[in-house]
Structure 1
Amino acid sequence: MRLLATTDSTALARAYRDNREHLAPWEPSRDDAFFTPAGQSEQISTHVAGLASGTEVPWVMTTEERIVGAITLTGIVRGPFLSAHVGYWVDARLQGQGVCSGALRAALLHARDELGLHRVQASVLPRNAPSRAVLDRAGFTVIGLAPSYLRIAGAWQDHLLYQRILT
C-alpha cells in the first residue's frame, strides 16, 4: 500500500477496467471515460488536491506488477469531530486473501497515529457480505441503516453505517 501518485493514471485505469464488472454492483455508475488514463488523471487530481488540503488520504494497493485496489480516507473533519470516512476495493482475483483487511488496518493506524482522528466511518450495502466481513474483522460496529443513502449501480440504495472508535 502506498499513496496514490499523479503518475498512476494508466495503471489505475487498467485496474478499474480489469475489475469493471466486479465493482459495478458496489459503485456509482461510471461512464466509459472513467476507465481511461485521462479519466483517471482527473480523478487523481481531485484526490491529490484533497490530500494537499487535508480532507483525504488516497492510497493504492499494489503488487510488484500492478495496482490491485484502493483505499481512501475521505471527508476528514477536524475540531471536536476528528472523523473520516473510509472506502476501499480490491481486485476480484485477490478477494478473500486479506488484502483489504491489511490495508484497512494500515489506514486505521494512520488515521489514529498520524492524523489524530477519533473515529472512522464506513457505509456498505447490506448484501455486500465480503465488505461487511472486512469491517467486522477490523472492529467496526454497525450504528444504523441509512435508507436511500447513495446512488449505486444506477439506483438509490440503503446502506449500513459502521464506525470504529480509534481512541
Structure 2
Amino acid sequence: MTAMIEGGPRAAVDVRLRLVRPADAAPLAALCRANREYLRPWEPQRDDAYFTLEGQRGNVRDLLQAREAGEMWPGVILVDGRIAGRITLNNILRGPLQSCFVGYWVARDRAGRGVATEAVRQALDIAFGELRLHRVEAFTRVDNHASQRVLGRNGFTAVGVARRHIYVDGRWRDERFFERLAPWDDGTAPFPPA
C-alpha cells in the first residue's frame, strides 16, 4: 500500500508499510540508535543490546515468530523507500473478540509531517481487510498529544484513561485508551462481508 502525502512546503513523500524482514535489522538498529533519546519518554526501557545489530536481529526474529503464531502483524514504515519507523498490530485476539491494538513510532526527522497518520491509516486497512478484525485499540500517554491527533485523524474514539497503565521513562504512566471499529461493523455481523 502506498500513499503520497503533502509535507507542507516540502515535496510530497511516498509512505507505505510492509512486513518487517530479517534484512531490516541493520537499518532498524541505526534508526533506533539515532532516535534513542527522542523515543525514551514513549517507549519501554531498553537495554543497550536492543540498539545493536544483534539486538535488532533477535527482535526481528521474535516479531516474525509472533506473526507466524498469528499474534501480531509487525511492519516497518517506509518513506520514499527507506525505513522511517515501526508499526505493529499487536495482541491479535480471535474468537469472539477479533481485535488487536496498534503501536507505532516515526523517526524524529519524519515527525509532524503526516507520516504516522498515513501509516496508521494503512495499518487499519490491513487490520480490517487482510486480517478481518473487528476492532483496533490504541493507548497513548495522556500527555502524548501528537499521537492522539494521529489517532483522531484516523477515526479513533477516546474511551477513557487507564491509570498507571505502562511503566516508561522511570515511572508508571496513565494512558488514554482509544478504539476504532471496522467500517463494516453493523452490530451483528461477526466478519466482513465476503
CA distance in 1, matches of 2:39, 2:21: 22
The aligned residue for residue 2 of structure 1 is 18
The aligned residue for residue 104 of structure 1 is 120
Which secondary structure does the structure 1 equivalent of 2:177 belong to?
strand
Runs of 5+ consecutive residues of structure 1 not aligned to the other structure? none
Q: Give 1:160's match in structure 2, choosing from 173, 176, 190.
A: 176
Give the TM-score taking structure 2 as reference length: 0.83
The aligned residue for residue 139 of structure 1 is 155
Aligned CA RMSD, in angstroms, stands at: 1.0
Identity of aligned residues (%): 42
Runs of 5+ consecutive residues of structure 2 not aligned to the other structure? 1-16, 186-194
The structure with the larger Rg is 2
CA distance in 2, matches of 1:75, 1:148: 20
Structure 1 segments, 4+ long, off by >4 Å, are none
The aligned residue for residue 83 of structure 1 is 99
Q: Give 1:148's match in structure 2, choosing from 164, 177, 190.
A: 164
Q: Give 2:50's match in structure 1, choosing from 34, 41, 47.
A: 34
Letter in 2 for 1:128: N
CA distance in 2, matches of 1:62, 1:106: 12
Q: Give 2:130's match in structure 1, choosing from 99, 110, 114.
A: 114
CA distance in 2, matches of 1:165, 1:62: 26
Which secondary structure does the structure 1 equivalent of 2:40 belong to?
helix
Letter in 1 for 2:168: I
Letter in 2 for 1:70: R
CA distance in 2, matches of 1:96, 1:148: 27
Q: Give 2:61's match in structure 1, choosing from 30, 38, 45.
A: 45
Shift of 1:67: 1.6
Deviations along 1:3-39, one digit per CA (max 9) or x if unpaired, are 1001111110001111111100001111111100111
CA distance in 1, matches of 2:28, 2:176: 28
Aligned partners of 1:60 and 1:68 also within 8 Å: yes
Which secondary structure does the structure 1 equivalent of 2:46 belong to?
coil
Which secondary structure does the structure 1 equivalent of 2:96 belong to?
coil
The aligned residue for residue 73 of structure 2 is 57
Shift of 1:63: 3.3
The aligned residue for residue 70 of structure 1 is 86
Shift of 1:65: 6.2
Whose strand proportion is higher, 1 or 2?
A: 2
Give the TM-score taking structure 1 as reference length: 0.97
Q: Alignment length, in residue pairs? A: 167
Shift of 1:66: 3.4
CA distance in 2, matches of 1:89, 1:22: 10
